[in-house]
Amino acid sequence: MRTLLSQFCESFEEVVRPLLDPLQQSAEALLQADTQLPGREVRADLLDLRHQFEALVHKVSEQQAYVLLFGPLKSGKSTLMNAIAHEYVSEVSSLPAYPCMVFVSHGATRCFDVTRYSGRSERFTDPTALHLFINRAHGELADRIRAAEESGEVFDPALHYPEAIRRVDVRLPAAELAESGAVLVDTPGLYARMRFGYGQMTRDFRDAASCAIFVVKSDNLFLEQVFEEFEDLLDLFSRIFLVVNLDSTKRDLAPDGRLVPSLEQEDPLRIIDAFENLAMGAPLKRAAEEGRLQLYPVDLLRAASARLAGDSEPAARQGLVDFEAFQQDLTDYLNSTEYLVAFLGDSLRRAKCLLGEAEELAQHDQVAEIEETTARLEEVRAEAGRRLTAAQRLQGVDWSQPFGDLAARVLPLLEERGRASASRIDPRIQQLIDGWFRSTTSLEALIQDELIPAFDGFQRELAEEVTQLLRREVQEGSAGILLDTDVAADLHAAGLDANAIGREVLEAMPAPVTARPGEYPFLGSQLPVRRSLTDWLFLRNGDRMRRHLFGQPGAPSFRIAPEVKQRRLGAEARATMVRLAAEYRARFVRDCMARFQRSIVEAYGARAQEALQDALKQREAVLARELEEARGKVTACRDVLLHIGAVAERARQASGAIEGLSQEYGATEPEKLIQPVPAPEGVVPTIPAAGPLGSEPLPESVPEPGEAPVQTEAAPELEGQPTAE
C-alpha cells in the first residue's frame, strides 16, 4: 500500500542517493593521487560523509527504526538484544570489545557484513570465522592506537588506520524484527579502553529519529560515573528507555544468618524509587518528567531465557512481565505518529546538515592546498615540456661541424708548439754530436743511445703539450667547441653540461700514442770520410772504407777514438751529421703533429660527439618520464578537484530539492502520513504487505534484508585471516 510517508521516502532517496557515487569517486581519486598530495583529512571526511549519507538513505528507503543500545561493559545489552529479537544474537553482538557499531536486523539468511572506515566491505557467514577475524583486527587496531599515543596524536581511525572496522551488519531470521522494522544497534561499552571516536559513532544517529535504550546493572545504578555522559544521549535522542538489569536470584544476609531474597527480588520498585528520588540528576529528572526518559526494572537474563525457550511456566512468566511492559512501550513509541513525524522531520534535518557539510568540503583548507599544489605542478609540467622540447631540438644539431672547428682551431697552436719544441731540440742534437766527437763511442751508440732517445723524449713532451692544450680548450669553453646562443640555451634548458661531458671524455681517453723512431737520422754511408794511406792502398772502395771505420751499415758498432774522428771525419762530417739530424727532426715533428692531431684532438672530438649524443638520448628519455609523471600528477590533482567540485555542486542541487521536500511535507498532519495515496501514473499497484512504519514493500532498487551490500572494491585480507564461509 502506497502512503504519503512512502512517497516521501521515495522522493528523499531520489534526491540523496546520487551523492554516494561522487563522494566515493572523490575519495578514490585522492587515494590514487600522489601520496605527497595534501588531503588525507579531506578523504577521511569524504568517506565519513558517504557513510553518513548511505546510512541515512538506507534508513529512509527501508523506513527503519533504529534502536540504539548503550551502557557499560557487561551491563546486559546483548541479553536484552536476545530478548527483543526473540532470537539468539549474542554470538555475534558480543564481539571482543571491538569499538564499532553492530547493527542487528532481520534477514532471510544469517550473514555478517564488515565495513571499514575506508569504505571496503566483506561478508562472513560463519560466526567463528567472524570472531577470528575480529580478534585479529583488534590486535592490529591496538598497535595503531599505541603508535598514535606515543607520537602524541589523538587517534582517529579515519586518518591513522582506515582499515579499522567501522560497523558490522548482522542479518538473521528474526520475525519480530521483520514485523517491526526495527534495527538493533549495539554500541561499544561506554568505558572500554579502545573508546576512540565515540562521538563520531553516535553522530551517525544525530537527528535520526532513533530511540535509545540505556542498560545498567542495579549494582551500578547509583554510581555517578555511569551517567557522566547520559546528558549527551538526551541531546541526541527524543526518547530514552532506561533498563535497570536486575538479578532476581541475588540473596542478602538476614540478621539471624539466613540467606533471604534481596530487595531486587522482593521489591525492585523500591530501588527505582530510591534512584529517582535520591540519585537522579536534574537533567535526567527533567527528561523523566517530560516523558522522554522511562525506567524499567527487568531481570534480563530470566526474560531472555523465557523468550528463547518459550517457557510459559508461572515462574518464567513472572520474569517476563516487566520486560513485556518495556517492550510494549517501545513498540507503541515506534508505531506512534509522534515517531513518524520525528522520522520525517529528523530525516530532512539530517539531510540538510550532511549536505551543508558536503558543500563546505570545497572550502576545506586542504582543498585550497590541493589547488595550490595543482598550480605548482602545472608550472613543473610546463617546465618539463620546455626542457624536453629543448632536448629534442638538440637531437637535430650537427655536432660534427663544431668539433671539426675545434680540430682546425687547435692545429695552428699545435704547429706553434712543434716549432717551439724544435727550437729546443736542435741545440741538444748538436750538443750530442759534439760530445760524440770527443768520445770513443760508436756511431751506433750515438744514434741508438743518444739521438733516438732525445727524439723520443721530444715526442712525449709534444704529446703532453698537445694534451694540455686540448684540456685548456675544453675547460675554457663548452667541451672545447663554440656554440651559438640557441644551442647553448637548449643545452642549459635540457640540463646538460657540455663542459662536464668534455672533461669526462678527456679524462677517460687513453694515453697518447707515441712511436719510437723507426729509422736512423743518418747513416755512415752519408758521412764524408777522409782517406788514409791504408785506405788508398787497401780500401780503394768507399763502402769498404766506411765499413772498416764504422762497422756494418746496419750496425755501425765499431768504437772510434776521438783523434781518429777528428782526423778522418772532422768539421765537414760534423756539419753533415747536424744537417741530416735537422732534416730528420723536421720530418719527425711533422709526423708527430699529424699523429697527435688524429689520436688526441680528432679522437677527442669523435668521442665527445658520441658522448654528447648518448647523453642527449638519455636526457630526452629522463625528461620524457618527468613530463609524463608531471602530467599524471596534474591530471590526478585536477581529477580530485573535479570530483570534489562535483560533490559540492550535487550537494547544492540536493539542498534545493530537500528544501522543496520540507515545504511539501513539513506541515503534513501526522495521521495523513500513513493514509493511502494514488500510485503514480503508469505504476502497477503492488499487493499490500506488512512493512516498517506501515510502508509498502521495498522498491526494487533497494536491497532486501539479507542481500549482500554493493561492494565497489574488494577488501584486502588481514594476515592470517580465516576464510569466510
Report pLDDT digits (tens) over 324-360: 889 888 888 888 888 888 888 888 988 999 999 999 9
Q: Examine the domain organization and report whether 227 and 107 are in the same domain.
A: yes
205 lies in the same domain as 354: yes
Local structure of 170: helix, strand or coil: strand
Let me know if residue 485 belongs to a domain: yes
User: Average pLDDT, stretch 184-204?
Assistant: 61
Does a structural domain hold residue 383? no
Closest listed residue to residue 98, CA positions, set 192, 207, 213: 192
Residue 297 lies in a domain: yes
Alpha carbon distance, N-terminus to C-terminus of the chain = 38
Q: Which residues contact 169 (CB under 8 A, 6 or more apart)?
A: 103, 105, 112, 113, 115, 709
Whether the per-residue pLDDT at 155 is higher than 90: the answer is: no
Residues 425 and 280 in one domain: no
Q: How far apart are CA 68 and CA 59, in angstroms?
A: 14
Residue 715 domain-assigned (yes or no): no
Does 411 share its domain with 326?
no
Tell which phi-psi region holds residue 491, choosing left (phi > 0), alpha (psi between -120 and 50) or beta.
alpha
Sign of the C-alpha dihedral, residues 80, 86, 90, 93?
negative
Same domain, 337 and 199: yes
CB 65 within 8 A of CB 181: yes
Q: What is the DSSP letter of 76?
A: S
C-alpha dihedral over 450, 452, 458, 460, to 10 degrees? -120
pLDDT over 50 at 578, yes or no: yes
Residue where the block lists cell 592506537: 145
CA dist 2 and 433 (Å) reads 130
> Given this model, what pLDDT does residue 687 score?
33
Cα(432)–Cα(423) distance, rounded to whole angstroms? 15
CB atoms within 10 A of CB 651: 25
Q: What span, in angstroms and rounded, lies between the C-alpha atoms of 11 and 57?
A: 11
**587 or 687, which is more confident?**
587
Residue 23 is placed in which grid cell? 563522494
Q: Which of 124-138, 151-165, 313-327, 663-677 is predicted with the least confidence, judged by mean pLDDT?
A: 313-327
Decide if 628 is inside a domain: no
Closest CA relative to residue 673, chosen from 240, 184, 347: 347
Q: With respect to residue 354, please indicate whether it lies within any of the assigned structural domains.
A: yes
Q: Name the least confident of 114-118, 192-196, 602-606.
A: 192-196
Amino acid 688: pLDDT: 36
> CA-CA distance, 241 to 243, in Å (whole number)?
6
Q: Which of 407, 409, 412 is nearest to 597 (CA)?
A: 407
Of the ranges 188-202, 535-549, 632-646, which is most confident? 632-646
Residue where a domain stops, chosen among 334, 361, 388: 361
How many domains does the chain divide into?
A: 2
Residue with cell 531465557: 305
Q: Are residues 315 and 199 in the same domain?
A: yes
Residue matched to cell numbers 647523453: 615
Place of cell 602545472: 378
39 and 103 assigned to the same domain = yes
Q: Are residues 269 and 405 in the same domain?
A: no
Q: Are residues 589 and 534 in the same domain?
A: yes
For the domain that residue 318 is a member of, what is the CATH number?
3.40.50.300
Q: How confident is the model at residue 695 (pLDDT cuts 50, 70, 90)?
A: very low
User: What is the predicted pLDDT for the residue at 215?
Assistant: 92
In a domain, 648, yes or no: no
**CA–CA separation, 455 vs 521, rounded Å?**
10
Check whether residue 514 and residue 458 sit in a common domain. yes
**C-alpha closest to that of 56 among 207, 213, 233:** 207
The pLDDT of residue 707 = 42
Domain that holds residue 548: 398-623
Last residue of a domain, one of 361, 389, 415: 361
Residue 510 within any structural domain of the chain? yes
CATH label of the domain that carries residue 420: 1.20.120
For residues 170 and 254, membership in a common domain is answered with yes
d(CA 579, CA 345) in angstroms, rounded, equals 122
- What confidence tier does 380 reach under pLDDT thresholds 50, 70, 90? very high
Residues 403 and 255 in one domain: no
**Cα(402)–Cα(392) distance, integer angstroms:** 19
Contact 496, 619 (CB under 8 A): yes
Average pLDDT over residues 11-29: 91
* pLDDT band for position 198 (cuts 50, 70, 90): low
DSSP state, 227? G
